[in-house]
Structures are given as C-alpha cells and as structure tokens.
Amino acid sequence: MDSGGCGNSFDRDDNNQPSTFNSGGNQQQHPIENSNGHQDHPPISRKIIIRMTLLFTAVAVACFVLYNSDYRNQYLLITWRNPLSSTSQGTTKTNQISLPPDAKNFSNSPDELLQGNNKSSMLNLSSPTNSEEETLPSLVNQENEERKLEKVLNKAAMANKTVIIAALNAAWIAPNSIFDLFLESFKIGNGTQRLLNHVVVMALDKKAYSRCLELHSHCYVLNTEGVDFSGAANFMTRDYLKITWRKIELVQTILHMGYNCIFTDIDILWFRDPFSHFLRGADIQVSSDHYEHSSTDLRNVANTGFYYVKSNKKTIQFYKLWYKSKDKLPGRHDQDVFNRIRHDPFIKKIGLKIKFLDTAFYGGFCEPSKDINVVCTMHANCCGHLDRKIHDLKMLLDDWKKYMAFPSEESTTEPQSWTIPRICGRHKI
C-alpha cells in the first residue's frame, strides 16, 4: 500500500522480508537475520570497491616513484665515505667494490688496501677535501655531478659504450699549444676524424673547460675543491703527481658507470684508428715506453698515458687497488705504481688480463714507431718540458702532412721514418 511517501514504511527484499526502515525519508540499514539465525550484512557497494582500488593504485605508484628517486640517496647515507676524494691529508677512503672472500692472503697485502665497508658510497666526482663524513648537501652535489658526467658520456659513447677520455688543464690550452695539436691530429689523421665525436675532454679547471667549449663538443669540468690544477706541472713535481692520480680517480668513476674507456694523454697525436691493432682477450691493454717482448710479457715497460680498459668487475677491483697503492708507495706517479702492482698475485687471482701494445703501432718519443705506414698514435713521452713537447709534436705533424701528400702507392711501398724526436727523447728528459 502506498502511504504517500510520509510516515514510516518498510522496504522488502526478494524474500518479502523487511530489510530497511525509513523514517522521515532517511534510510537506515540494519542487519537481517537469515533462516539460520545469522545476521547478513548488506553487500559492499561498487563505489567503495572502486575507491579502494584507486587508493591502492595511488599508494603503489607513490611507493614506486619514491623508490626510484630516494633509494639511491638512502643507500649513500649508509656510512657515507668518499672513496676517491683528493684530500689535502692524503686520506684514502673506501668505495663499494668488495673483494671475493678468499682474497686475504695475497702478497703485498692488497686485501689491506681494499678493505672497506661494502655499504659505502658511489665514486666521488667533486672530491671534498676537509671532512671524511659528508653532509646531505654534499651527497646531493655528488649525485648532481654524476648525472652531469653521465649525460656527457652518454652523448659521446660509441654503440658498445666506449668513450675516449682526455684530461686537460689550463697550462695546455694556449693557441697552437698541446690541445690544438691534439685536436688537429684527429682532423688530419687517416680515419680518425669520426673518432672526435667520441672524445670527452675532462677539464681539470675552469679555464681549461672554457677553452674546451670553444673547440670541442664533449667537455666536462672535473671539480676538485681546494686543489688548483691550472698551472703547468713539470714531471714528478707535487702538482704533477696530483694530476696523474686524479686521472685514475676519473677512469675508475667511468668504469663504475659501465663505460669502456680509451684513455689518452693530450700530448698524444692520433694518426690512425687504434682499434685496428687492439688485442683480443684483454681486460686492460696499455701502451709501452719500451716493448721488446710479447704482448702478454710483464717485463714490458708500461706507459699509462694511453690504454684501453673494459668495464667489468675485474677492472674495477684493479683500479681500486691501483689507486689505493699510491699510499703504500708514496711519491710515485700512477705509471710507476702500475708497473709495480702488475706483478701482484692478486691480478692472477681475480683473472685480470693485461696486455701490452707494440710501439710499432703505438709509439712515442721514448721508442718511436719506425714506420709511418702503420703507426696509430705517437706520444710525446720522455719529454719533461712543455715547450719541448710542443716543438717536437709540431715536427711530428709536419712529417705526417708530408707523408699524406705522397701518392698512396708511393707512401706504402717502403717504410717511412720520422724526423723526431729532435729535442725530446729518452736521453733528453
């Protein structure tokens, strides 16, 4: 019976049982007893289900975004230490690479050099110099630097994630000086111009960075607080040693980021694509001051001004050992330390393969390549002064230009020699 919408009424369910009580137009729901005497509650509405689903989705998305944005900083905050900071006190700090558990009894105690908290940080690009435990702003700055470097490396990398790295300071940026000669060699070399697209110049100071931006596409300024790398650094001076070890820090950072690296000193001229004579089965292949044995003979004298290193666990462990060994062998540059630790049983233990590049293809003033027809690079090593380097490198470029001016059949029929070194060389350091 219709009561005109006023007063009290009952709505009935499908079994003609009262289910709701209306009073004054307001509907109140009450549990209903079923045939077994149990109370049945009304079903959850579709709107509630949709709301719960949307809420759960929103929480999941928020957690995912938070994980990707903050997880790294959370990881860095666990016992933060800068593994490669260039401190004025010479303090060496740990990084995140750990040794295998059985790497404890190697000669020269590499395990002592490699000890550290496995939860420590990524590599330090900005190299704070004052405190060991860094603040949150330092961590944020560190992450920003890593992103900047990653952006530059990504633009310059080859398809196989290989980059060519060259370090530059203000002493070598004057017009017609070392940096200009370096770039010119790529432009006039045989098949080397395209390789310029993969060269990243790591400027050690702001002046060098500004000059790089004028001449080249891929430049990155390597900040080092409290250290001035802009001046000329003669061989084995204090500043020279700082620069050489800063380069090792840099390459270790790049390997951590997953990039293979061809490192080249700026005083190396590129005449041919070096990949054509790189060796198979090597984790690191390094040029030589003096080469008279096979590529695997450790008696060859390595020159770390030019090398090709692949990014893998073995090379990262080796670079960590290499850098930390400077504290055990103070006052020595990176090349001297490399030539000492390459004999360590730790190298064999981790399975690292080191090979040496023949000076016939990768020559230098210490031992010049004897045939221009096959040379890939030439290094102004065994030459301790900047003005001497510039003089002989210019002669080197002149020799190459004359060689390239010959008809192709004439230039390849017999070995072509150099007129250098003129004022550089092993006996003129």
Q: What is the pLDDT of residue 396?
A: 94
pLDDT for residue 415 is more than 90: no
Q: CA-to-CA distance for 56 and 137, rounded, in angstroms?
A: 34
Q: Determine whether 287 is exposed, middle or buried from the number of CB atoms within 10 Å of its CB (0-12, 13-18, 19+).
A: buried
325-367 pLDDT, tens digit per residue, is 888 888 788 888 999 998 889 999 999 999 999 999 999 999 9
pLDDT band at 200 (very low <50, low <70, confident <90, very high): very high
What average pLDDT does the segment 72-86 reach? Answer: 35
What lies within 8 Å, CB to CB, of 340 at 6+ separation is: 325, 329, 332
Q: Give the three-state DSSP class for 427.
A: helix
| Greatest mean pLDDT among 80-89, 98-107, 207-216, 416-425 | 207-216
Is residue 347 within 8 A of residue 361, CB to CB? The reply is no
What average pLDDT does the segment 205-233 reach? Answer: 80
Mean pLDDT of the chain: 75
pLDDT band at 390 (very low <50, low <70, confident <90, very high): very high
Residues in the chain: 429
Q: Give the three-state DSSP class for 9.
A: strand
238-277 pLDDT, tens digit per residue, is 666 777 778 888 899 999 999 999 999 999 999 999 999 9
Task: Return the closest-CA partner of residue 256 out of 133, 120, 140.
Answer: 120
Is residue 383 within 8 A of residue 396, CB to CB? The reply is no
pLDDT for residue 426 is more than 60: no
pLDDT band at 416 (very low <50, low <70, confident <90, very high): confident
pLDDT band at 64 (very low <50, low <70, confident <90, very high): low
Q: What is the pLDDT of residue 136?
A: 57
Question: Max Cα separation, the chain?
Answer: 121
Give, as one character, the DSSP assignment of residue 400: H
Q: Which residue has the higher pLDDT, 330 or 90?
A: 330
pLDDT for residue 412 is more than 50: yes
Q: Which residue has the higher pLDDT, 75 or 289?
A: 289
Q: What is the pLDDT of residue 87?
A: 38
Q: What is the pLDDT of residue 102?
A: 36
Q: What percent of the chain has pLDDT over 70?
A: 65
Q: CA-to-CA distance for 157 and 260, rounded, in angstroms?
A: 9
pLDDT band at 108 (very low <50, low <70, confident <90, very high): very low
What amino acid is encoded at 411 in this protein? S
For 312-372, what is the HEC assignment?
CHHHHHHHHHHHHHHHHCCCCCHHHHHHHHCCCHHHHHHCCCEEECCCCCEEECCCCCCCC
CATH class of the structural domain 138-428? alpha beta
pLDDT for residue 84 is more than 50: no
Q: What is the pLDDT of residue 315?
A: 97
| CA within 13 Å, CB half, 342 | 23
Q: CA-to-CA distance for 263 and 415, rounded, in angstroms?
A: 28
Question: Which stretch of 24-38, 103-117, 282-296, 354-368 has the lowest confidence by average pLDDT?
Answer: 103-117
What average pLDDT does the segment 32-37 reach? Answer: 50
Q: Enumerate the domain spans of the chain.
A: 8-40, 138-428
| Greatest mean pLDDT among 67-81, 115-129, 304-318 | 304-318
Angle between helices 136-156 and 46-76 (to 10 degrees): 90
Pairing of the two strands 377-379 and 219-221: unpaired
